[in-house]
Structure formats: C-alpha cells, structure tokens
Structure 1
Amino acid sequence: MDMMFEAYLTHESSHLEPDDIPFTRDPVWILGKKYNAIHDLEAIRRDIRSKLWFTYRRGFVPIGDTNHTTDKGWGCMLRCGQMVLAQALVQLHLGRKWTWHIETRNSAYLKILHMFEDRRGAPYSIHQIALMGASERKEVGQWFGPNTVLQVLKKLSVYDEWSSLVIHVALDNCVVMNEVKQLCKSQRLPLDPAYLQCTGQSLDSLQPGVWRPLLLVVPLRLGLSEINPIYMQGLKTCFMFEQSLGVIGGKPNHALYFIGCVGSEVVYLDPHTTQPAGLVEEKEQEHEKAVDATYHCQYASRMHILQMDPSVAVCFFCRTEKEFDELCRLIQERLVGPEKQPLFELSRDRPQQWSPVQEGAEEALGATACLPVDDVQRQFDDSDEDFEILG
C-alpha cells in the first residue's frame, strides 16, 4: 500500500513552498469562488484539494475482453470528463461549499467516488466510458476528444437515477435557452422497458415539468493553432460565474481540467500521473484512506491562458431553473454584450436556419438516442480530430 501515497507524499515530503498559486493582489477564481491569494492561500488549496482528481491508473480489471489494465497514454481526456462530472455531482449532492479532509467519510461523498472507481460495475468508471465509446466509433484504448467523452457521459448519466442529471452539449456555439429548459423539464423515458423493471420505477414516477439538474457544455474552437487573444477575457470570465464547472481543454499532448484563473494564467488539474488502482470501500481501514487520498491533488498547476489548445469545452452546472436563468443573464451581460467577438451566443429559441429540433427530442429519450455528431451542422468544426491533444 506504500505506492498508494505516491502522488500524495511527493508533495507532502517536500519542504519547498509549492508554486501553485502566485503571491499576487490579482483575485484568484476557482469555479466561481473569488479568493485573495495573499490572505486566502490555505482556503484556496483546501478548495482545490476537495476536487475529485482522476488520473491514469494501472492494475485494474481488464476492460471488456481487451488486455487493457491501465489507461496510461490514452485515457487523459476520459479522466478530465470524469472530473467535470464528479464536480457536478459533488455540487448537486454536497454543495459548492463542501470540503474534503483525509478523515472525510460522508456517505454521499463515498457514493459519488464509488461511481467513478476503476471497476466494471461503477457507472462512470473508465471501463464503462471506454466500452460506451464504441457507440461513438471509438475502440478501447483510442484517444477521445472532448465532444466524444461528453457524449458518452451523457449516455451513461441516464442510468444514474440518484442524480437524475441532464447533460446537454450545446453545438453551433450557441446556447438555446428554451431548448435547454425543455430538456430539463422533459419526462425521462428510457428506450428499453427492461430498464424500468431493473430500477423498480414506473412511468408515473417520471413526471414532466420538474427541473432536473443541468450540466451544460459548450464546445468551442477559439483559434486555429493557438487561442486568439480576443477570447482571453471571455474565457477568464467563465471561471467567475457561480455556475462555473471549469473548462476541459489542454495543451499539446495533454488533456487538462481547468478549474480557475488568476491574472493571465489558468489553474488546472493534470491527469497525467499514473497511480495504482484501488478501492475506497467504506474508508474504514488505513489502506482505504490511503486510496482516497490519491483522488485529491495537493497542489494545482497553472499556465498562461494563451498556451492552452484553442479547442475547449466550457462547462456549467445549474441545480435549479433559477440558477440557469441567472447564468443566462450573466452570459448576456458579461460575455455577449461587452465583447466584440463573444465566446458563444445566447438565443431564446432555436434559429430557423438550424436543422429540426431532433437532437433535443432524442436526447430526452435516453441513453441510446443521441444523433451522431457528424449529422449536426456547426459554425466551427469541433470534431475529435481537431482536438487530438491527448498524451
């Protein structure tokens, strides 16, 4: 079990002050929370440590009928997708103010973590994501782009009745407000009747009109080979919204999960650490605490915002309809209104020149109802091929 603390103890054993957060008067933003780097350094680090950090793992049960017992070299985007989704579930079930400690044994926290563990039965495990990737024409061991991993997580989320989460990927650089509301209030109808039987549900229990929590993702391409500086302020502004879930993106040969910004830099969690696979169970034994510690990064990293790959996916979480309305107001006032070239657009209704609203209707039906992304016309090509930055 000594290896379980590999990443954890690397930092703990160092007597040098880490260079994770600069000593500056510029505000530090971590997923919508504003901090002062001079006075709030420990609070910033505690907030960052509380994020679930998913990295490469080795030694887990083979995925399907393959020989893959590690995702090193191909799973970093899958891990970034896991981090975004896990943060949405933490905010849904525990709240944005919740913080983690090595002694934490909160039942909701453990339940969330169990959903992402590297085992076949975990609904959001590397096994489930990699195998579901076949529906997006990705073989186990192939690199995923951000759009693929989000489409896969959307399909898997329909089986998570505890969270009842809506994952909506807004294409064409536009968030259509009424379309999102229709999805979040739509009746949830699984395609397979056996699904209701295995979950013990009835059609009467799936009532329309009740808002289901929303994970909203907006895939963007902000330049050709590098980010156009015109988008810099808009990207930083996204981290300042209370609904912020950060950004999936990266740099050449690395997929990264960006969780904040300070000055002209972005703060991120890096999945490119290979750790042994392990289970936390009920966190009653010391070795289970050690495994739990490997899911929390002691110190984040940072880089200049213009060093990011120009293909990104901006993410937001809205627990209630009121929070979504507030997010739309902020987008209009702080992203669309003041910017000559906004990151993306906001529309009340679906533009008439778009294809019929099939994607939204299909999305409401369940896990296997997603249209192939190639069937949807976009202003920018945000295909996986344009985002193969994985290492």
Structure 2
Amino acid sequence: MNTDYFTRSKRLLSGIREDGRITFPQARGAEEDNELAEGEGKVKTKLLAMWYNMKYGLNVKMKTNFSRDSPVWLLGRCYHRKTDPCDEQLVSDEKEEGIESFKSDFMSRIWLTYRKEFPSLDGSNISSDCGWGCMLRSGQMLLAQALVSHFLGRGWRWDPNQRPSNEKQYRDAVNHRKIIKWFGDTPSQMSPLSIHTLVSLGEVSGKKPGDWYGPGSVAHLLKKAVDMATRETSDFEQLTVYVAQDCAVYLQDVIDQCEANGKGSWKSLILLIPVRLGAEKLNYIYAPCLTAMLSLDNCIGIIGGRPKHSLYFVGFQDDKLIHLDPHYCQEMVDVWKAEFPLSSFHCRSPRKLNLSKMDPSCCIGFYCQTKDDLEKFVQNVQTCLIPPHEKAEYPMFIFCSGRSRDVMSAPKFCIPDDSIRLADSVHDSEDDFESEEFEVV
C-alpha cells in the first residue's frame, strides 16, 4: 500500500470523536492525487459504516424473545391471542398462533438499509447514504410493503430454504425479486424507486445529495416516484399514491385518482398520511391510536422513529413498537445480476422501541386494493382516530367528503419541516438509544 495513503488513513481513523462525529483533514491542495482522494472517500465511508454498525449493534446476531402473556401484532396480523385495540374485545384466531409464525411474517418484510459503494448520486461524489439516508430508506420500506401487498398479497411468506415447486410459487419468486429490483441502488430507469431517484426528485425542492428529510417530505417523494414509474412501466398502471393534506383525506380526490383510467376501472390505493402528534415529544394520549393503526389489515406501517433516528414501524407488543432499522450499512447488491442474493434484503431480528420515545412526527401508510376495501377501511378506522376518553375535536386525521379545491377552510394541522430533528446527524444521544430485545416475563 502507498505509504502516503496509509498515513492519511491513520489520520482519518484518529478523527473519530467520542460522540461519533468524524472529522477529516483538509485536502493539501490542487496537487492532490485523484486516486488518493478516491481512496480517502472509501475510507470515510467504511469508517461511517463501522461506526453505525457498532453503535446500533446491527452487526451482532440477536436472539428475539417475547412476553408469553401478550399478543404480538404485525401489520394487521395477531400472534398469540388476538385482541382488537379499538374496542378491547377479545377475538379468537386459530390461524395466527405462535411466535414462529410471527418470525416468518417479520422476516418476509423487505428490509432496505444504508448501502455503500453504489454509483455516485447525480452531481456529487457521494456513493453511500450512510449517516443521512435513514428516512429515505424507511420510506422505501413502507412503499415496498405496499408493493408486496399489491403483487404478492399480505399472506405471502419468504422461505430462503424453499425453491419454487409450482407455478404460483415461481410467479411469486419472480415478483419478489422484481420488487427488490425497483429499489436497486442505481440511477437506472429500471430501478424507478431507488435512492438515486428519490434524491433527484428532492433536488426539485432544493434538497441536495446528503441532505436529510422528514416523513412528510418523503411521503411526497414516494408519490412522485410512483407517478414517474407509472409513465415508464406498465407494472404501476394499476397503482396510485395519495398524500393527505394537513391531516385531511379528501375522499373525492382519492376516488378521482383511483378512477383516472376510466371505463369503470379502479387503481389500487396507497394512502400516506403525515401527522404530528405533539410538539417536542409525542403526546402519549395518541399511543393507543398508533397501536390501533398497526392492528388494521390495511396498514402497511409507520415511518418516523425517535429524534434523529428514523425507523420503520410494523407492529407492537404491549407499549413497545416493533420496527425495522435502516441504519445497518451493507455493501451494495447488483440486483440486475441473475440470482442475486436476497438475504441482505430481509431481517431476522425484530427490535422494539418504547412508544414514549417515539418522535411526534410520522407518516402512516395504508393499502386499499379495491373500492370496497377503501370504503371498509374508512369505516373501520374511525374508532381508532380519537384517543380514548378524549373529545372528538382531536382526531389523528380526518376524512372530508369533497375535493380539496372545493373546501374553503379545511381544518389546519401544522406539519413543519422536521427533517433536521429526525435524522440530524451521526451523533445521536446515547440516552435515547434503545437496543433492548423482547423479554420473556
């Protein structure tokens, strides 16, 4: 190895501070060798990856344990005992019993994390989203779950040890890989939902590669990305994304989008609702509402997290939210190679976060395949919108029967730009971090 390069690498290693910040030496001038600069950039990326994987314990295999006495919910499915959080009525469910079934369900969710060594983002030399792309990755996971529900169905499970043995299993395996390819870390149009696409769309709003996003901003980027994909490939023709405005869902606008093709056809709906449930901290009266949302069959998850740390929430047990964490930095996978490995796109270790530590700003996602699904969802979600024992004036969000342009004074709920709060920097407060496993009690 070049002696000068080795010396500079040591200087980089010495730049890791106790709080996790990494300081880098200044370039020596115009005579800096391009190859040396490129090597230095790779060292920076590797150091950040090592720091995140060590800090969050994501490079350690964790054993997952659960309370034997409480039901575990995962995107509308209940394991152990089934209790409806909306009315607290105990419901028997013989089909969804056992933690092994939960583990299979959890592992089948698509896990999208920090990646390194991907093609540089447009107009920059950034080849990793480590340290800034966590909310974008959380948004990708939310959208991926909607696509799994649309193309594979909520009951689909991924078994890494099983080879397709019939036509349906083969078709599901093809669609599984196709969905992951759409999120491939490449600027190619064949991956229309890639981080490259999302960053490019963010530039229209003044964002630059390496900037952070809030959940509301990501919701709008996902809509734009799907709209673009619809024009590029027929796979998205029967899908549409609607983003709520100021916590209000205008049902006629939704119907207009879903019936855009005319001739009595209906596009399946991905409904994204950004909300803010408190000022600096989560207003805990909404905790039952959040868990109730995750118990609904239509729910595809919640993106948010804790301050400065985005997460993708998919379920809960008691007062702990089950989540997928995007902060594990992995090598880029070339998803356009035949039989590319799938293991890095699925997580085997569920983690949890206490509801009280959740940031108040988040975005809730729902998927409605048909018009009938939408009507049932609008009816079923009503009892989950208002905190128990609270007045009806404070629902999480509302439905309006008309179009947004026809409403002169819709209820206003402020959703400020919270990008800095949610994914601010690499130096999270250690007091906020919780890597606790499920405990057997």
User: Same fold per TM (> 0.5)?
Assistant: yes
Equivalent residue number for residue 240 of structure 2: 166
Query: Structure 1 residues 96 and 168 mapped into 2: Cα distance closer, same or farther (>3 Å)?
Result: same
Q: Distance in 2 between matches of 1:84 and 1:12?
A: 23
Deviations 1:318-362 (A, max 9, x none): 111111111101122333496533211222224788459xxxxxx
Query: Is 1:183 equivalent to 2:257 in the alignment?
Result: yes
Q: How many residues align?
A: 338
Matched residue type, 1:176: Y
Please say if residues 259 and 265 of structure 2, whose CA atoms lie closer than 8 Å, have aligned partners that are also in contact: yes
Matches within 5 A, 1:225-236: 225-236=280-291
**Percent of aligned positions that are identical:** 32
Within the alignment, does 1:243 sit opposite 2:298 as a pair? Answer: yes
Residue 387 of structure 2 is aligned to residue 318 of structure 1 = no
- The CA distance in 2 between the partners of 1:11 and 1:60, in whole Å, is 21
What do residues 231-284 of structure 1 show as CA deviations (whole Å, max 9, x unaligned)? 111111000110001101011221100001111111000000100001244653
Confirm or deny that 1:348 pairs with 2:410: no
| Residue 380 in structure 1 maps to residue 411 in structure 2 | no
**Secondary structure at the residue paired with 2:236?**
coil
- The answer to whether residue 330 in structure 2 is matched with residue 275 in structure 1 is yes
Deviation at 1:100, TM superposition (A): 1.1
Provide the residue aligned with 1:18 in structure 2.
63
Task: Quote the Cα distance in structure 1 between the aligned partners of 2:60 and 2:284.
Answer: 39
Q: Which amino acid aligns with 2:236?
A: S
Describe the shift of the 1:232–1:173 C-alpha distance in structure 2 as closer, same or farther (beyond 3 A). same
RMSD, aligned CA: 2.7
Q: Distance in 1 between matches of 2:345 and 2:318?
A: 28
C-alpha separation between the residues in 1 aligned to 2:343 and 2:360?
Answer: 32
| Counterpart residue type for residue 109 of structure 1 | H
Q: 1:91 to 1:11 in 2, by over 3 A?
A: same
Residues 1:98 and 2:156 are matched in the alignment? yes
Contact 1:211/1:320 (8 A) holds in 2: yes
Is 1:30 aligned with 2:74? yes
Bigger relative contact order (CA 8 A; separation at least 6): 1
Q: Under a length normalisation based on structure 2, what TM-score does the superposition of the two structures give?
A: 0.71
Q: Which moved more, 1:381-390 or 1:109-118?
A: 381-390
Alpha-carbon distance change, 282 to 386 in structure 1, aligned in 2, over 3 angstroms: closer
Contact 1:179 1:349 in 2 (8 A): yes
The 3 A distance-change label for structure 1 pair 300 and 337 is: closer
The structure-2 alpha-carbon separation of the partners of 1:39 and 1:316, relative to structure 1 and needing over 3 Å to count, comes to: closer
Which runs of structure 2 are paired with 1:280-295 in the superposition (5 Å)? 280-281=335-336, 283-284=338-339, 288-289=340-341, 292-295=342-345
Residue 71 of structure 1: which of 115, 120, 129 is its match?
A: 129
The letter for the 2-side match of 1:214 is L
* AA of the residue aligned to 2:349: Y
Please report how far the alpha carbon of residue 178 of structure 1 lies from its aligned counterpart in structure 2 after TM superposition: 2.2
Matching residue's letter, 1:212: K
Counterpart in 1 of 2:110? 52
Match for residue 335 of structure 1? 385
SS in 1 for 2:213: coil
Residues 55-110 of structure 1: CA deviation (Å, up to 9, x unaligned):
00000111123101100011101101110111111110000011112256711111
TM-score, normalising length: structure 1: 0.80
Q: Which piece of structure 1 moves more, 105-114 or 78-87?
A: 105-114
Q: Aligned pair in 2 of structure 1 residues 157, 353: CA closer, same or farther (>3 Å)?
A: closer
Task: Please give the per-residue CA displacement for 1:185-243, whole angstroms capped at 9, x wherever unaligned.
Answer: 124xxxxxxxxxxxxxxxxxxx4542111110111111111111111111110001100
Alpha-carbon distance between aligned partners in 2 of 1:381 and 1:81, rounded to the nearest angstrom: 17
Aligned equivalents of 2:405 and 2:383: distance in 1?
A: 24
Contact 2:293 2:384 in 1 (8 A): no
Paired letter, 2:368:
C
> SS state of the match for residue 204, structure 2?
helix
Displacement of 1:36 after TM fit?
Answer: 1.2
SS in 2 for 1:90: helix
Instruction: Give 2:195's aligned residue.
Output: 126
CA contact (8 A) 1:231 1:342 kept: no
Q: Partner residue of 2:86?
A: none
Partner of residue 108 from structure 1, selected from 153, 170, 175: 175
Summarize deviations over 1:9-59 as a string: whole Å, max 9, x none.
x99985xx723x522322111011111189511111111111110000000
Q: Give the whole-Å Cα distance in 1 for the aligned partners of 2:132 and 2:423.
A: 10
